[in-house]
Amino acid sequence: MAADMFDISGRVALVTGSSRGIGNAIARGLAAAGAVVVLNGLDADRLEGARAALAAEFGEDRIFARRFDVTDAAEVADGVAWVEREVGPLEILVNNAGVQHRVPMLELDVEDWERVLRTNLTSAFLVGREAARHMIPRGRGKIINIASVQTDLARPTIAPYTASKGGIRNLTRAMTAEWAAEGLQINAIAPGYIHTEMTQNLVDDEAFNSWILGRTPAHRWGSVEDIVGPAIWLASDASKFVNGQVVFIDGGMTTVV
């Protein structure tokens, strides 16, 4: 009975930026929980590689891929229409695509500021709006926006990233204000420091690694698997009355000084 609440078998899920990293882990987790998954990314070869790998695991009829740029309104509309037409009614959207750009603010170009805002924040509006246009008439849908501990906390050199992830919190609330009554649940997941290939150099850096361990009550790095369970919860009927929340999956980092 309780397990049924988490069953997402056959539900169509689109995960943006899922050709690698956290998005790919979420896509794999949703597929393992039974969803029909559409992968997305920019690099066509990398995307096809990711599709083939998950299709080998879950079947060609369960894993699809569509290349589109999440910052381009026309490409987004075309991409979501393709999902609806070729795969099925979109029930779960994970707005995960994102970029980082590290430079002190005094040296930050407005072009880079806008590129990060567009990729991390405007994209969630564009893909979310397009998905909601299909979900609202059906009276159901789940949108999960990927935030960050930088939704709450700032660090030097990542101003546009911090601003974009703070924006994700209030975009999640704005979507909730407008669409929750239509049967949609919109929430955000805010991952903490996650041990991936990309962060291996930080794990190997003794000073940084001990700073992370000391700064994290759970005294460890997160793994991509740590994100999967909360993603399945927020994608399933188990979270039917969870609206507009940011769930921090950070080992407690944002709860302590």
73 binds ligand NDP (CB under 6 A): no
Using CB under 6 A, pick the residue from 15, 146, 231, 253 that binds ligand NDP: 146
Tokens of 111: 């072009």
What's at 129, amino acid-wise?
R
Binding string, residues 79-108; x marks residues near ligand NDP by CB under 6 A: -----------------xxxx---------
145 contacts 95 by C-beta, under 8 angstroms:
yes
Quote the least distance from Cβ 137 to ligand NDP, whole Å: 26
Nearer Cβ to ligand NDP (179/193): 193
Q: Cα–Cα distance between 172 and 170 in angstroms, integer?
A: 5
Spot the catalytic one: 125, 161, 179, 193.
161
Nearer Cβ to ligand NDP (101/140): 101
User: Which residue of the chain is nearest ligand NDP when measured via CB?
Assistant: 21
Using CB under 6 A, pick the residue from 83, 119, 185, 233 that binds ligand NDP: 119
Closest CA to 65 of 18, 23, 20: 18
Using CB under 6 A, pick the residue from 70, 159, 175, 232 that binds ligand NDP: 70
Report DSSP state, residue 194.
B
CA atoms within 13 A on the CB side of 69: 8
Nearer Cβ to ligand NDP (117/183): 117
To the query of whether residue 193 is one of the catalytic residues in this protein, the response is no
What residues between 33 and 62 interact with ligand NDP by CB under 6 A? Answer: 40-43, 46
Buried b / exposed e along 48-62 (16+ C-beta atoms within 10 A): eebbeebbeebeeee
14 contacts 82 by C-beta, under 8 angstroms:
no
138, 140, 146, 147: CA torsion to nearest 10: 110
- Which residues of the shown chain bind ligand NDP in the complex (CB under 6 A)? 16-23, 40-43, 46, 69-71, 96-99, 119, 146, 148, 191, 193-194, 196, 198-199
